[in-house]
Structure 1
C-alpha cells in the first residue's frame, strides 16, 4: 500500500499533446460521412455551410465556458470532477457513471465497428470477421495506452497529422480545381425533408462532440490552469476551420444534387474523380487513421474518469481500479476494465444505438456544468481566475441554449431512448450509496486500527 501511495500520474503532457488530443478526439469519420446528411437537412449548400458554422460557434461557446471551470479544477476526471465540486458527490458520480459504463464504451465500440467495415472493404476481408477486427484494433490501441501517457500522446500527434493529409487534399482540390458554386445550390426540389436547418445544426453538433475529453487528463497536463483552456479553445477553432473548408471544398467539387444521391459515398467519389483509384485508396487510409486516432483519444481519456472515481472509493473493486503501474504511471486496470466493457458491447449489443441513447444525458450534464460557471462566480466573487469566459454572460448562455436545443430535439425525436437513458443513470444511484457506505466503513476501520497501533 505504501508503494501504491507514492505512485502518481505523470504530469508531462504539453500544449501540442493536448491540442492533438482535442482535434484527434473530435475528428473521426464525421467530416467524411456527414456531408450529405447535413446538406440534405439544410436544404442548400449555403445553409449547410451556415449549419457547420453555427454548430462550431455553439461548440466554441461550450468550450470557452468549460475552460473557465477547467482552469479552476485542473484535476483528473474532467466533467466528473466539475459536477462533484459544483453539485455534490452524487451528481459527480452519476455523470462519471454514465460516461464509463455506457457512453464512453459505446462510442469506442461504434468507432471500432465502423473501422472494421472500412478495413474489410480495404483489404477484402469477409464481413463475418468484422467483430474480430473491431475488437483486435481496440485492444491494440488499448495496449498502447497501458504504457506511459507519452506514447498515447505521441500517437495522437502522429494520427492527427496523418488525418490532415486527406483533409488538405479535399480542401485544395475543391478550392483550386472545383467548378461548382459552393453557395446557393438548392435541394428543395429533390428532397422532401430538406430545409430543416435545426436538424442540420444538430448533426454538426454531434460531429463536434468529444472536445471535453481532454479535461479528463487535467492531472497529467503541464500547467493545466493555463494549457487546458488553450487546448480546448484552439482545438475547437481548428476543427471548425477544417469542417468549414472541407464542406466548402466538397460543394465546389460536386453538384449538390449529386452529393445527395451519393450519400456517404460522396467524398470517396470526389477522391476517385480527382486523384484516380490511388486517390480513393489514400483517402480510405486517411479515414482509417482518423478513426484510429479518435479511438486512441477516447481510450486514453475515459479510463481516467474510472480511475478518479475509484480513488474516491465509489466503484466496485475500487482498490484495483485505482491502481497505477509503478513504471508507466497509468491506470492499467481501469483501462482494461473499459476495454472489457467495449468488447461486451461489440459482441452482444448495438453500440451505435447505445451511444445515441446517451447523447441526451451527456447534454443534460453539459447544461448543469455551464450553469455551474454562474454558481462558481456567485460563490467565489473575489476569486482570481487564470482564465475567464470571454463575453460573459453571453457565451455561457449560448452554450446552455445550444445544449437545450439538443436535449429538446432528442425528447421530440426519441422519447423511448430518452427514458432508457434515464434508466442507465438511475442504476448508478444504488451503486453510489452502497459503495460510498462500504468505503466509509473501510476508512473508519483503517483509522481505528491505526489508532490502536499508535497506542501499542
Structure 2
C-alpha cells in the first residue's frame, strides 16, 4: 500500500522518514545489560534452586547459563555483522532457513513469547514496587496487576515518543541496576568474610541433583540472561555495527555473568535455601535480613531495574514486527514510522493488548515455562541457520567470524533443553508447541499466497489508510541496510 505522505521531491535527510542511527557503543551495552539485568536475577534464583536440587548445583546452573548465553551471543554477533538488517531472530531465519521458519518465529513472538516475556518482567516490577507497602503480608494480586499495567503503558508511551529519550533512560536505568547489584553483592561478600558458609555445605551432593527438573532450572537461569540478543534487533540503528555489535554483546555478557554468580553467592550467604524457596521476591527477603533500616529502598531499586528490562525489551521487539512488515510477512501498517517522532509507532502499540491479557490471566512461573519452549527452540534454529548459511555462502564477507564449534554447541544445548522439557513440563511445553504450529495455516492461507477475498482486502487497505492518517505514520523513505 502506498504512503499517504506524497511529495514531488526527494525528501531531505533531516526530514525523511526512517529510523536514525542513535545507538552508540555505550547505549548498545546499556541495552544489552539493561535487558539482561531485569527481573531475572531477582526472581529466577527461586526457580533455579527449586529445579536443580541444592545451592551448589544452582550455582553451577547459573555459570553454565552464562557460558551458554555467551556462545549464543557470539553466534549472533557473527550474524549481526554479516546480515545488516534489523529484526534479530526473525530476519536471520528468513535469510538462512527461509520464509516459513521465519514466519513461525514471528507468529510465536507476537502471540506468545513477547507478551509472556513482557508480562513476566512487568509482573516482577509490579510485585517489587508494591510489596513493601503490604509487608509483612503479600500484596493483593489485583493490586500488583494494576501497577504492572501502568508500568507497561508508561514504557510503551516513552518508546512511541522518542528514541533518544528511550535510549537515555535505558542508560540511566542500567547504571542504577549495577548499583542495585552492588548493594546485594557487598553485604553478601562481607558475610562470607565473617565465616557465614553454612548454606553452602553439602552443595554438590549428587543424591540431591534433580535431573528430571534440570531443564526447568535452565529455563529460569536462561531467562535471567535473556537479553543478550536484543542488540541484534536494532542493527540498522547502531552506529558502526560491525565494530559495536560484537563489542557490546561480549562485554555485557562477561559483566552480567560475573555479577549473577556473585549475586547468587550473596543471596545464600544471607538467606537459607528454605527462605529463598518460600520467598515471592528474593531481593525483598534479602533486604529484610541484610538492611533492616533501609529494607524498603532495595525493592524500589529492583522495580526500576525491571522497568529498564521492560523498556529495552519493548524497544527491541517492536523492530522485529517492523522488519517483518517491511519484508511482507506482516501487515504494511506495522512497517510505518511516525513522521515527526521517527519511532515505529504501530509496531509498539500492537504489543499492548496481548501483554495486558497475559498479565491478568498468567502467573509468573507458569508464564516463564509457557513461552520458554518456543524461545529456545527458535534460538537453536537461528544458530543452526548460521552454520547452514556458512556452508551455502562461503564467499560472503564476515567481519566477525566465530569458530563453528560455538554455534554447534549452542544449537545442541538448545535442542536438548527443549527436548527434555517435554518430559519435565509436558503441559506448558505442549501448549507452547501448539501455539507455534497454529501459525502454519496463517502462513499458507494469508502470507505465502493470499487467499483472502478481494472485498476483504480492499476493506483492509481502506482501514490501513485511515489508521495511517490517524497515527501520522509513513513508510520508510531511506534504506538503512
Taking structure 2 as the reference length, what is the TM-score of the superposition?
A: 0.82
| Higher normalized helix content (fraction of residues) | 1
Q: 1:343 aligned to 2:356?
A: yes
Residues 45, 400 of structure 1: alpha-carbon distance in 2 compared, 3 angstrom cutoff: same
Separation in 2 of the partners of 1:140 and 1:39?
33
In the alignment, what sits opposite 1:238?
A: 255
Asked if 1:156 corresponds to 2:197, the answer is no
| Per-residue Cα deviation, 1:412-452 (whole angstroms, up to 9, x for no partner) | 1122333322322222223233145349999xxx9xxxxxx
Q: List gaps (5 residues or longer) in structure 2.
A: 462-481
Residues 1:437 and 2:453 are matched in the alignment: no
Q: 1:286 aligns with which of 298, 301, 305?
A: 301
Rounded to whole Å, the distance in 2 between the matches of 1:62 and 1:212 is: 8
* Alpha-carbon distance in 1 for matches of 2:200, 2:360: 45
Q: Indicate conservation of the 8 Å contact 1:100/1:303, yes or no.
A: no
Identify the residue that residue 454 of structure 1 maps to in structure 2: none
Partner of 1:327: helix, strand, or coil?
coil
CA RMSD of aligned residues (A): 3.0
Q: Distance in 1 between matches of 2:169 and 2:371?
A: 28
Partner Cα distance (2:338, 2:451) in 1: 22
SS in 1 for 2:338: coil
Are residues 1:356 and 2:369 paired?
yes
Shift of 1:33: 2.8
**TM-score, normalised with respect to structure 1:** 0.87
Q: Work out the CA distance in 2 between the residues paired with 1:37 and 1:129.
A: 24
Moved more, 339-348 or 12-21: 339-348
Question: Which residue of structure 1 lines up, in the alignment, with residue 431 of structure 2?
Answer: 420
220, 232, 239: which one aligns with 1:222: 239
2:422 match: 411
CA distance in 1, matches of 2:308, 2:110: 19
Give, in angstroms, the shift of residue 203 of structure 1: 3.2
Residue 270 (structure 2) aligns with: 253
Structure 2 partner of 1:303 = 318
* Change in 2 beyond 3 A, CA 1:319/1:48: closer
| Runs of 5+ unmatched residues, structure 1 | 447-456
Paired positions, count: 437
**Separation (CA, whole Å) in 1 of partners of 2:361 and 2:285:** 34
Q: 1:85 to 1:277 in 2, by over 3 A?
A: same
Post-superposition CA distance 1:367-386 (Å, at most 9, x none): 11111222122122233311
Partners of 1:265 and 1:365 in 2: how far apart?
A: 30
User: Which residue in 2 is equivalent to 1:204?
Assistant: 221
Instruction: Say which is worse superposed, 418-427 or 229-238, in terms of deviation.
Output: 418-427
Question: Residues 345 and 351 of structure 1 are in contact (CA less than 8 Å); yes or no, is this contact kept in structure 2?
Answer: no
- Is contact 1:76–1:218 with CA below 8 Å preserved after alignment? yes
Report the secondary structure of 1:324's partner residue: strand
Structure 1 residue 79: deviation in Å?
0.7
Structure 1 residue 259: Cα displacement: 4.4
Report the 3-state secondary structure (helix = DSSP H, G, I; strand = E; otherwise coil) of the residue aligned with 1:154: helix
Matching of residues 104-143 of structure 1 within 5 Å: 104-124=114-134, 127-143=141-157
- For 2:296 and 2:407, the matched residues in 1 are separated by 43
Task: Identify if the C-alpha distance between structure 1 residues 368 and 127 changes in structure 2 by more than 3 Å, giving closer, same or farther.
Answer: closer
